[in-house]
Amino acid sequence: MAVLVGKKAPVFNASAVINGGEIVENFSLEQYAGSKHVILFFYPKDFTFVCPTELHAFQSRLEEFEKLGVAVVACSTDTEQSHWGWLQLSKKEGGIKGVTYPIVADTNKTISANFDVLAGNYFFDENEEMQAEGEMIAYRGLFLIDKEGIVRHQLVNDLPLGRNVDEALRMVKALQFVENNGEVCPADWNEGKSGMNATHDGVASYLSEN
């Protein structure tokens, strides 16, 4: 699994569904450059079980992300038509109606591959025919990307393990605290807690106070 932290996030242009039902082409994260942080999260499949709980969970906290100047973007290897169809179904029916942030269609699987969250592998057999080993879908990857397009945090869960939106918000707030205050965040840092001055004296002072 590649570590993308500290590197430029892979660039992509792909179809996506935005605003809960509008299909657009050439969606790109570059539209947020210089103005917004981005939470980009991958999920395995439309019309499944754990995935809608995550998409609804991010939607329920979307206003908090937006107040922090963060764009939330989802992505899976399904088509834009599949995303659109799922958005037409209510939560009670297992759908994601009401989700308004962009959902990217990584139909050719290159986005998932470039972010190194693609489960399964392609290979050529003895007859030089392409085969797939494992299901070619995305793990539950999450990437926090700053305004300069640099990945500052990544988390990858196996397929059955849903994520914690509180933790995603905590990491956004921690990054913005570092950017705004020039201090670092110690273990279990949460909004309202002190940071640390990254010097010997600063660390000693923090430890004595805590």
Do strands 151-157 and 121-124 pair parallel, antiparallel, or not at all (unpaired)?
unpaired
The two most distant CA atoms of the chain are separated, in Å, by 68
Q: Decide: 144 and 172 in contact? Cβ < 8 Å.
A: yes
- C-alpha dihedral over 180, 66, 194, 143, to 10 degrees? -90
Structural tokens at position 38: 């981005």
Q: What residues contact 189, with CB distance under 8 A and at least 6 apart?
A: 170, 174, 177, 195
The number of angstroms, rounded, from the C-alpha of 103 to the middle of its chain's C-alpha atoms is 11
| Three-class DSSP category at 29 | helix
> 9, 40, 51, 174: which one is catalytic?
51
The answer to whether residue 75 is catalytic is no
Catalytic positions, written as ranges: 51
